[in-house]
Structure 1
Amino acid sequence: MCVRGTVMALMVDLPGMLAQRRPRIVVLGDVMVDGWTTGRCDRLCREAPAPVVDVTADSTAPGGAGNTAANLAALGAETVMVSALGDDQTGQALLESLRDAGVHTDHVLPVVGRVTTTKRRIIASDQVMLRLDEGDRSPLPPDMDERLATELRRALHGCDAVLVGDYGTGVIGPAVKQVLRQARREIPLLAVDAHDLEAWRELRPSVVTPNAAEATALLGHKPDSFESYGEQLRSKTGAAAVVVTLDREGTVLLAPGVPPHRTSADPAPDNHATGAGDTFVAALTMAAACDVPLTTAVSLAQAAADVVVHRPGTSVCGQAELVERLGRHESPSAHEALARIVAEHRTAGRRIVFTNGCFDVLHRGHVSYLEQAKRLGDILIVAINDDASVRRLKGPERPVNTAADRAAVLAGLSCVDYVTQFADDTPAALIRLLRPDVYAKGGDYSENMLPETPIVQAYGGEVRILDYIADHSTSAVIDRIRSA
């Protein structure tokens, strides 16, 4: 798993960019029904000292890997479900719920005689009183295991990632695992969310997401902190990266080459936490499948989980809700998050290059100078003026393209590692925060023309003026379009 990639550091725009990419993600695992019966409780029954719940509402939703798939679809992924469930009314209703959520279910097999797994919670006054579980947990019959393996093989064609949700209900058998084993080299990203992660070690997952209890079981003891146990957890699980989810305490990413990365959660009552892990791993997988660095992907996934933990029952986080959540604190947190990522790259010995501009209509001159800038170091950060700033600098008819569109085009260039935007007329404040090793600008400037030069030189950085390609400016391009 690479922890570098092309991504906007401006987090609020990231969900839209991911949805535009629309990665094809195969979700393999245990699908179940989450049921919620809610009501009032103000007395005990006469037959026994048991509470009486007067039911006011009853609802169901896809649970387990089904909830993960529903979250992926809500975030904009092309989501393909591979699973088996009972050939019963509950299973049929579950399939309809998945389809309504936008999940492709052509590779979900009904199994005659099997009882679909259901977990029903009885809730009174916002308190879970009882949970009723039913359904088969026995392994699939060998013939159904082979059939499901065939369905998986078909589903894997052209996928960007596979997300495994293995909760031990017997759906993932030896034939299914053998297909994954044979196809592993062709799977760009394999994320595993399983109660028994050691069982997946031989498949060398890209990332795994144990909770605190599962990570403790892997280590054989409860540590004061998981930050020092990245190597052991990666060895135990065979994973390139491990994200330990810590409920109210957020998460910690343990990946080689970077310091442990922590996220903070927005705490909610424990009875609202059902399905938050499914949402987290869905958002994490979608971002990682689009080459978003894991540090950013984990922060995005934490925000998605924060959305659903503040709702009762099992729910999903959609793109609009995630944007709203990220937008609450966007301006300072985006640049601060980028600063933390830059610090991690610097700790790993990487040279940081920074440049800025409007980049309104990307042309050959832009691409040439960005490629030159990347050759000056290891990480290239491009900061773009936001729309209001462009209007102040270029006039009321600019920008032609919005900041989100400009950033998306830049992010598609292989030489660009991070894109962010700033609201001031100059990036001086951002340069002071990030302290890049090299500040690069196009050849139509000189060092003494740049107000940022004294800032860069004051902390020991270097200012580099790059080649300028004549007759390749945004204004010239726009004039040619208008004249045509």
Structure 2
Amino acid sequence: MSATNGPQHPGADAVGEHNTAEQRGLTEWLPRWLASVQPSIAVIGDVMLDGWWSGSIERLCREAPAPVVEIQERRFAPGGAANTAMNLAALGAKVGLAGLAGRDEAADELLRQLREAGVDTTGVVQLPGARTTTKTRITSSGQVLLRLDDVQRELPEEALSALAVVIPQVLRDREAVVVCDYGAGALRGAAREKLLDGLRARPEILAVVDAHQPSAWAELQPDLATPNAREAADMLGLKLDPRSDRAAVMVAHRDALLQAAGADAVVVTLDREGTVLLPRSGDFHRTWARPVQEKQASGAGDTFVAALTLARTASLPLTTCMDLAQAAADIAVHRPGTSVCSTADLSHHLGSFTDSTVDADELLTHITRHRAEGRQIVLTNGCFDVLHRGHTRYLNQAKQLGDVLVVALNSDDSVHRLKGPGRPINTIRDRAAVVAALSCVDYVTVFGTATPIPLIQKIRPEIYAKGGDYSPEMLAETSVVEGYGGRVAILDYVPEQSTTAVVERIRTSKNAQNEENIAAHSPSRAATPPSRSG
């Protein structure tokens, strides 16, 4: 469909790069961009209503050894494609939704909530005599006991034809479309053909396929396909071993997955294990979830897809889109029921990493607990003054060496001694906040010594990782790590862009801007009449 970088917006790349370089980043920039641009996105597919009924259990029923749940609360929320639309609207997009529903109480509740959220529902076709798909979960004391699915899978052809009529209207003037095909039957026959025709006619639209069978949409050649691990395995004809490293399996089958999905990139969601990005070119990228023990959350995958789509519409790099989407999904999964993540939620979450460092003693407490759970500790260190893609790729690789990644940052005084006058550009508080916000990073600590050897001796990581511009022989830390049985790992050298080059670009840009401001306010400039030549 669209070019790899997605739809372009004036200044999106420049502003994003500038703010990322100065470490204020997306926390400040994204809400402003959404408010000013309001990207227009279509969601087309299987809409449904999620019900969450909770109550207490005091006895078993007489007819069978089954609990009697006395319902005390009924909550409803848009589900499926409707949940994706709700998340996009909460994140600041202008959303048009197309799908099929009945003329029943479930549809009334579904449409009411969608409209209140600002979703355009003119593309939701209501069918007399049809049932709105509902999925009702019965819970007690925080535990889901049962889910009741009411799905009308055999939809009449006239219903699909009616949906086909509204699809071109919903696609009009959109910058992106999310195809939500969950097997409920809305995207078949005439509706499917009209959607395919509409997207072929608009190749500039960013196309994202979120489907139980992504291969069914391969002819669309979408920009992104977002199967979960089971759906990806089904595409490959594989049976996943529950004990296997699912991310590694997906990476090993990248070419086959891309061919089966027909996509420029496949993003496989791994539930509690995060996600893995498999692009046609370039390295794969991982994110790591911050899971919860309770299983009363639903729809975090819809939140992930919504945030991923929106970030890509903003022309952000795919790796950045992935980390943002993971953060949004983490927010949703920590809330009960079917929930959404708003722009304010996301900004608050990213901003919450401001005070994110732990001291060596607290870190040791956490490490001791993780080690007792059989988890391997990876430690790396550096200044990370102006974070760039080389850094994030390096940290992503480091995480994959073990289970828990600790990043030790040089203190401000230490950076000044190492890098000279004018450094660091960003204080330790800002540097720590940005690094801690990456999903691959578990803990951030600070050291002020010449080397991290005292910290290494204290926490004794199983793996000590450094970048490829070093060798084990160059590192004073090597003898210490190997002395207690640890391993030094040298990661790929990533010459994406040096911090020094980024800093020089920022300074040059600031100097040019200052000169322009001075010129604009000087008397000679003010006295010069505007040119009429152009």
Q: Is the shorter-chain TM-score for this pair beyond 0.5, marking a shared fold?
A: yes
| Corresponding position of 2:442 | none
Secondary structure at the residue paired with 1:279?
Answer: helix
Q: CA 1:331/1:127 → structure 2, altered by over 3 Å: closer, same or farther?
A: closer
Q: Paired residue for 1:60?
A: 76
Q: Aligned partners of 1:480 and 1:44: how far apart in 2?
A: 88
What is the deviation of 1:138? Answer: 1.4
Aligned-pair identity in percent equals: 42
Structure 1 residues 212-361: aligned runs within 5 Å? 212-221=229-238, 222=240, 224=245, 225=248, 226-269=250-293, 271-329=295-353, 336=387, 338-340=389-391
Q: Could you tell me which of 52, 63, 68 is aligned with 1:36?
A: 52
CA 1:202 to 1:476, structure 2 compared with 1: closer, same or farther past 3 Å? same
Kindly report the root-mean-square deviation, in angstroms, between the aligned alpha carbons of the 2 structures.
3.4
- Tell me how far 1:101 sits from its aligned partner: 1.4
C-alpha distance in structure 1 between counterparts of 2:496 and 2:167, whole Å: 47
Secondary structure of the 1:267 match is coil
Q: Sort the Cα spacing of 1:203 and 1:270 in 2 relative to 1 into closer, same or farther, 3 A.
A: farther
Distance 2:524 2:172 in 1: 41
Task: Kindly indicate whether structure 1 or structure 2 has the higher relative contact order, using CA contacts under 8 Å at least 6 residues apart.
Answer: 1
In 1, are the aligned partners of 2:27 and 2:350 still within 8 Å (CA)?
A: yes
Q: How far 1:109 moved relative to its partner? A: 0.7
Label 1:240 to 1:274 Cα distance change in 2 as closer, same or farther (>3 A): same
Q: Secondary structure at the match of 2:338?
A: coil
Aligned to 2:207: 190
When structure 1 is superposed on structure 2, of 130-139 and 199-208 the one drifting more is 130-139
**CA–CA distance in structure 2, aligned partners of residues 43 and 205 of structure 1:** 52
Aligned match of 1:474 = 517
* Structure 1: segments with no counterpart, 5+ residues: 345-384, 388-431, 451-464
C-alpha deviation, 1:19, in angstroms: 4.1
Deviation at 1:211, TM superposition (A): 0.5
1:211 aligns with 2:211: no
Please list the CA deviations of residues 167-205 of structure 1 after superposition, one character each: whole Å capped at 9, or x if unmatched.
Answer: 111111222222232232414211011001111011111
In 1, the alpha carbon distance for the partners of 2:498 and 2:140 equals: 54
The 5 Å alignment of 1:89-168 reads 89-139=105-155, 141-168=156-183
Aligned to 1:355: none
| SS class of match (1:129) | strand
Amino acid at match of 2:347: V
Tell me the CA shift for residue 298 of structure 1: 0.9
User: Could you give the per-residue CA deviations for residues 51-94 of structure 1, whole angstroms, max 9, x where no partner exists?
Assistant: 12232211001000000000000000000001111112211221
Q: Is contact 2:48–2:78 with CA below 8 Å preserved after alignment?
A: yes
Residue 303 of structure 1: CA displacement?
0.4
After superposition, the Cα gap between the structure-2 partners of 1:439 and 1:269, relative to the gap in structure 1 and judged at 3 Å, is closer
TM-superposed CA distance for 1:437, in Å, is: 7.9
| Distance in 1 of aligned mates of 2:169 and 2:74 | 37
Contact map agreement 1:11 1:330 (CA 8 A) in 2 = no
Query: Are residues 60 and 11 of structure 1, via their aligned partners in 2, closer, same or farther at CA, if it must alter by over 3 Å?
Result: same
In the alignment, structure 1 residue 181 sits paired with structure 2 residue 196: yes
Q: Deviations over 1:220-249 (max 9, x none)?
A: 223742222221111001011000001111
- Give the 3 Å change call, closer, same or farther, for CA 482–92 of structure 1 in structure 2: farther
Alignment partner of 1:169: what SS?
coil
Give the TM-score normalised by the residue count of structure 2. Answer: 0.65
CA distance in 1, matches of 2:514, 2:293: 61
SS at match of 2:165: helix
**More divergent stretch after superposition (77-86 vs 263-272):** 263-272
Indicate if the aligned counterparts of 1:19 and 1:75 stay in contact, CA closer than 8 A.
Answer: no
Task: State the Cα distance separating 1:12 from its structure 2 match.
Answer: 1.5
Give the secondary structure class of the aligned counterpart of 1:328. helix
SS in 2 for 1:473: helix
Q: The residue matched to 1:179 in structure 2 has which SS? A: helix
SS state at 2:132 partner: coil
Match for residue 216 of structure 2?
A: 199
Does the 8 Å CA contact 2:91/2:341 hold for their aligned counterparts?
yes
- Decide which moves more: 210-219 or 47-56: 47-56
- Please report how far the alpha carbon of residue 257 of structure 1 lies from its aligned counterpart in structure 2 after TM superposition: 2.2
Question: Contact 2:386–2:499 (CA<8 Å) still a contact in 1?
Answer: no
The code of the aligned residue for 1:435 comes to S
Tell me whether 1:51 sits opposite 2:114 in the alignment: no
CA positional deviation for 1:334: 10
Q: What is the distance in 2 between the residues matched to 1:171 and 1:254? A: 29
Between the aligned partners of 1:331 and 1:106, the Cα distance in structure 2 is 45
Counterpart residue identity of residue 264, structure 2: A
Contact 1:38 1:57 in 2 (8 A): yes
Tell me how far 1:136 sits from its aligned partner: 0.8
- How far, CA to CA, are the matches of 1:274 and 1:66 in structure 2? 13
Q: Distance in 1 between matches of 2:258 and 2:162?
A: 32
Letter in 1 for 2:298: T
Paired residue type of 1:102: G
Q: For residue 337 of structure 2, give the secondary structure of its aligned residue in structure 1.
A: coil
The SS at the match of 1:329 is helix
Matched position secondary structure for 2:187: coil
Matched ranges for 1:20-31 at <5 A: 20-31=36-47
Q: Which residue is 1:462 aligned to?
A: none
Once the two structures are TM-superposed, the CA of residue 13 in structure 1 deviates from its matched residue by: 2.5
Compute the displacement of 1:30 (Å): 0.6
Partner amino acid for 1:247?
D
Q: Deviations over 1:74-128 (max 9, x none)?
A: 0000000011111122112211111011100111110111111111111011111
Task: Answer yes or no: is the 8 Å Cα contact 2:42–2:97 preserved in 1.
Answer: yes
Give the drift of 1:137: 1.3
CA distance, structure 2, for counterparts of residue 439 and residue 131 of structure 1:
52
- Structure 2 Cα separation of the partners of residues 481 and 121 of structure 1: 72
Match of 1:368 in 2: none
Q: 1:82 to 1:125 in 2, by over 3 A?
A: same
